[in-house]
Amino acid sequence: MIDIIWDQAHNTPRNLAAAPANDCRRIGVAHDCRAVALQDCRALWPEARRATASVQALRPHALLRTLPLDDEYQVAFVPSCSQIAVLSRAACRLLERLPLGADSHVEELEAVEQLFALGLLSDGDRAIPAPAASEVLVAWLHLTNACNLRCGYCYIQKSGESMSIATAQDAVDAVVRAAIRHGYPAIALKYAGGEASLRMALVEQTHRYAQAQAARHGLALQAGLLSNGTALTPRRLARIAAMGLRLMISLDGLAADNDTSRLTIGGAGSSGSVTAGIERALAAGIVPDIAITVTSASVDGLPDLLVWLLDRDLPFSLSFYREPSCGGASRDLHADAQRMIAGMRRAYAVIARRPPRWSLTGALLDRADLAHAHRRTCAVGENYLVIDHHGQVAKCQMVLDQPVSHIRADDPLGMIRLDQAGVRNLAVEEKAGCRSCDWRYWCAGGCAVATHRATGSYDARSPNCAIYQSLCPDVIRLEGLRLLHWHQLATRA
């Protein structure tokens, strides 16, 4: 039986605004895996190649790799380029026999079409196409400086100050203007802080205004609220649900694994309040995305945390700790590469035992996203505006204190793109050591801020490069096991 199993929903970004609290470009999780029905996915390929490719000319892509899953199945992929797919032994044998002869039967022809559509075959061209730019303009609205936690790695200098509603509306206007001027059909707003849920009236007024302005200008609008989870009362959750906002909650571990670096303003641990907030969100009908920051204090507790999250069928993403620019963390939260790799593998083992319905290829390895090829690690410097409570516009929330424009400027996004003094989020081809890396369009070279702090330059590979290189195959194998698990359950039913 020629089985080709892949996640049909991979190409459907759910919501850019779904980025977790410390995140940047995370795209929502996709559900539903199945053996693919034949469909024309040649749109994945440039027009010129689509026109010339004929089934009889197709061979395994020169960069095709496989990893064994069990005696019958392998996971196949072309790094930086293809979909990740599970192939049965018969499908692998078919690959070895390519190109197809003229007497091939219809099942083989269809399977070759499918393998080509997934990017696993080519007509001789070894090139990896450069990914297209995003069509969504993302804006981080720093609604308040107030927060009830004092996390050891927070980059915000807290105060009680919040954005006024007039500034919030001007900020929305600036985002809409930028979208129109630069040709974006969609905007994604992240309501953030501080702790944005402490200012729900402001969130509501801003969101209502954003909905009206987006509708008026024919822009699609995605929006989410980033929260530490501790102040999510049933009343606030009802308001979040009524607005239809995505909810992202930060939680680094259970008990001390979280509390070492995430204390309340009074110095108590916060994990109990966060998990209670998550349970209340679920009771209110909201499924939050959980943002996990992996630090030296949380890495060993990841398996326990993942069991807790998987018990509740909660989507999550794992990001690596980055030192704040505003004077350093309260203790050293960096773990060395070997400890990180070992800790992440223990976490992946938990997932392998009980794979979720959704793909985790964009959520398991810091800023890497193995589901969506991309040239830049995040939207910074390209399609991203970070607006503080005074209306100043910065490139990244990590450097909120280094604005390069203002919402009342004629073209804040243009100024961000032209700025050469602040953080420079280079395309991966501009980074020494990255441009020839097999993983380049899935990794994109890591966070620019972290790279600059570690190396003093932006055109270098990430300080986490060894971790990315070690764990990319683990993530792919895990995705293969997940696809196989749900395919076998479906075919047994």
- Report the residue from 77, 153, 358, 468 that binds ligand SF4 according to the rule CB under 6 A: 468
Q: Is 445 in the site for ligand SF4 (CB under 6 A)?
A: yes
Site string for ligand SF4, 5-34 (x = CB under 6 A): -------------------x----------
- Report the residue from 53, 465, 478, 481 that binds ligand SF4 according to the rule CB under 6 A: 465
- Report the residue from 61, 375, 440, 477 that binds ligand SF4 according to the rule CB under 6 A: 440
Q: Is 439 in the site for ligand SF4 (CB under 6 A)?
A: yes
Among the listed ranges 30-38, 182-190, 218-226, 420-428, the one in contact with ligand SF4 (CB under 6 A) is 420-428
Count the residues of the shown chain that bind ligand SF4, applying the rule CB under 6 A. 26
Burial bucket for residue 51 (CB in 10 Å: 0-12, 13-18, 19+): exposed
- Report the residue from 248, 400, 423, 483 that binds ligand SF4 according to the rule CB under 6 A: 423
Among the listed ranges 69-77, 297-305, 334-342, 440-448, the one in contact with ligand SF4 (CB under 6 A) is 440-448
Q: Which helix (H) or strand (E) holds 387?
A: strand 384-387
Nearer to ligand SF4, 446 or 480 (CB): 446
Q: At its nearest, how many Å lie between ligand SF4 and the CB of residue 419?
A: 13
- Could you tell me if residue 381 is left (phi over 0), alpha (psi between -120 and 50 degrees) or otherwise beta? left
Nearer to ligand SF4, 18 or 35 (CB): 18
- Report the residue from 17, 196, 248, 398 that binds ligand SF4 according to the rule CB under 6 A: 398
d(CA 380, CA 331): 28
Q: At its nearest, how many Å lie between ligand SF4 and the CB of residue 377?
A: 5
Q: Is 443 in the site for ligand SF4 (CB under 6 A)?
A: yes
Look-up: residue for tokens 């009771």?
A: 283
Q: Which helix (H) or strand (E) holds 350?
A: helix 337-353
Q: Is 437 in the site for ligand SF4 (CB under 6 A)?
A: yes
- Could you tell me if residue 198 is left (phi over 0), alpha (psi between -120 and 50 degrees) or otherwise beta? alpha
Among the listed ranges 7-15, 83-91, 310-318, 435-443, the one in contact with ligand SF4 (CB under 6 A) is 435-443
Nearer to ligand SF4, 2 or 448 (CB): 448
Q: At its nearest, how many Å lie between ligand SF4 and the CB of residue 190?
A: 11
d(CA 293, CA 190): 18
d(CA 412, CA 48): 36
DSSP state of 98: P
CB 370 within 8 Å of CB 450? no
The DSSP string of 216-254 is HTT-EEEEEEEE-STT--HHHHHHHHHHT-EEEEE---S
The angle subtended at Cα 426 by Cα 11 and Cα 186, nearest 5°, is: 40
Beta strands in 53-105, from DSSP E residues, in sequence order: 59-60, 65-68, 73-77, 85-88
Q: Which helix (H) or strand (E) holds 206?
A: helix 200-216
Q: Is 402 in the site for ligand SF4 (CB under 6 A)?
A: no
Q: At its nearest, how many Å lie between ligand SF4 and the CB of residue 21?
A: 11
- Report the residue from 100, 136, 434, 481 that binds ligand SF4 according to the rule CB under 6 A: 434
Nearer to ligand SF4, 169 or 469 (CB): 469
Q: At its nearest, how many Å lie between ligand SF4 and the CB of residue 135?
A: 18
Burial bucket for residue 216 (CB in 10 Å: 0-12, 13-18, 19+): exposed
Q: How far is CA 282 from CA 6, 48, 287, in A?
A: 29, 48, 6
Q: Is 471 in the site for ligand SF4 (CB under 6 A)?
A: no
Q: Which tokens hold the place of 436? A: 């020839």
CB 173 within 8 Å of CB 407? yes
Among the listed ranges 35-43, 333-341, 353-361, 432-440, the one in contact with ligand SF4 (CB under 6 A) is 432-440
Look-up: residue for tokens 């004092």?
A: 150
Q: How far is CA 456 from CA 69, 103, 446, in A?
A: 41, 60, 14
Q: Is 424 in the site for ligand SF4 (CB under 6 A)?
A: no
Q: Is 447 in the site for ligand SF4 (CB under 6 A)?
A: yes
Among the listed ranges 109-117, 214-222, 330-338, 438-446, the one in contact with ligand SF4 (CB under 6 A) is 438-446
User: 53: which strand partners?
Assistant: none
Q: At its nearest, how many Å lie between ligand SF4 and the CB of residue 373?
A: 12
Nearer to ligand SF4, 184 or 439 (CB): 439
Q: At its nearest, how many Å lie between ligand SF4 and the CB of residue 443?
A: 3
Nearer to ligand SF4, 179 or 426 (CB): 426
Tell me which residues in 170-229 interact with ligand SF4 (CB under 6 A). Answer: none
Give the chain's end-to-end CA distance (angstroms, integer). Answer: 18
Site string for ligand SF4, 358-397 (x = CB under 6 A): ---------x---------xx-x---------------x-
Q: At its nearest, how many Å lie between ligand SF4 and the CB of residue 320?
A: 10
Which of 270, 248, 233, 255 shows the shortest CA–CA distance to 150? 270
Q: Is 446 in the site for ligand SF4 (CB under 6 A)?
A: yes
Q: Which tokens hold the place of 254? A: 């259970």
Contacts of 92 (CB under 8 A, 6+ apart): 66, 74, 76
Residues that bind ligand SF4 (CB under 6 A): 24, 367, 377-378, 380, 396, 398, 423, 425, 428, 433-434, 437, 439-440, 443, 445-449, 461-462, 465, 468-469
